[in-house]
């Protein structure tokens, strides 16, 4: 089963609501691949011993991992962090997230700067390429637990838009051409 993604409407209301267009404008996994966004569906019930996850980590060099629980009572500075996550930003490295429980939205910009909302739930692993503008929010269930993966020592630094002068951004834009 694939994950679901769609173009967002332009309303500024509650970031946690789905913001679908009417009629819905779905975005396929193929379209997302063209943006450099990749997805795996895994069995999150066995994440601690999952050979499939092990293989992905080995193949792609994801040596680092930690687990973040995003919930009012679990995450220090919850409100502030959620606000930061929802600011449009980029990173100089890939962002790799694996949803172990709950659900969340990752929004990414397409080639024409339109927002695509990616609905992530338990078992979805996603990679966002370095240099892509994106943001993150919980949905109306207000809870997710996610594994963060990284190649080597993690760098969580986010650069809010505009961040167009970074090599990672220019390289990403070049990668869209091919």
User: Toward ligand KMT, which CB reaches closer, 27 or 99?
Assistant: 99
Helix or strand holding residue 51 (H, E):
helix 51-60
- Measured distance CA(33)–CA(12) in Å, rounded: 27
Q: Residues 28-67 vs Ni ion: string with x where CB under 5 A?
A: ----------------------------------------
- Measured distance CA(31)–CA(115) in Å, rounded: 13
Torsions phi, psi for 174 (to 5 deg): -65, -40
Among 19-27, 74-82, 89-97, 140-148, the segment contacting Ni ion (CB under 5 A): 89-97
- Measured distance CA(122)–CA(78) in Å, rounded: 21
User: Toward ligand KMT, which CB reaches closer, 37 or 158?
Assistant: 158
Q: What SS3 state is found at 127?
A: strand
From candidates 62, 98, 136, 172, binder to ligand KMT by CB under 6 A: 136
Report the alpha-carbon angle 143-145-150, nearest 5. Answer: 140
From candidates 93, 94, 95, 124, binder to Ni ion by CB under 5 A: 95
Give, as ranges, the residues between 72 and 101 that touch ligand KMT (CB under 6 A).
85, 95, 97
Size of the site for ligand KMT (CB under 6 A): 7
**Judged by CB under 6 A, does residue 47 bind ligand KMT?**
no
Query: CA gyration radius for the chain?
Result: 16
**Judged by CB under 6 A, does residue 159 bind ligand KMT?**
no
From candidates 65, 68, 92, 176, binder to ligand KMT by CB under 6 A: 68
């Amino acid at each position: 089963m694939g994950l679901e993604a769609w173009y967002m409407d332009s309303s500024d209301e509650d970031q946690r609501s789905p913001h679908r267009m009417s009629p819905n404008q779905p975005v396929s996994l193929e379209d997302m691949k063209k943006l450099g966004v990749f997805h795996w569906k895994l069995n999150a019930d066995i994440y601690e011993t999952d050979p499939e996850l092990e293989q992905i980590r080995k193949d792609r060099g994801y040596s680092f991992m930690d687990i973040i629980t995003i919930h009012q009572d679990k995450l220090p500075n919850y409100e502030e962090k959620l606000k930061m996550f929802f600011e449009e930003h980029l990173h100089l490295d890939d962002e790799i997230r694996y949803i172990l429980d709950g659900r969340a939205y990752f929004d990414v910009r397409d080639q024409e700067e339109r927002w695509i909302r990616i609905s992530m739930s338990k078992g979805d692993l996603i990679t966002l390429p370095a240099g892509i503008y994106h943001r993150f929010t919980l949905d109306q269930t207000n809870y997710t637990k996610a594994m963060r993966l990284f190649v080597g020592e993690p760098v969580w630094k986010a650069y809010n838009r505009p961040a167009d002068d970074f090599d990672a951004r220019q390289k990403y834009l070049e990668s869209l051409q091919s």
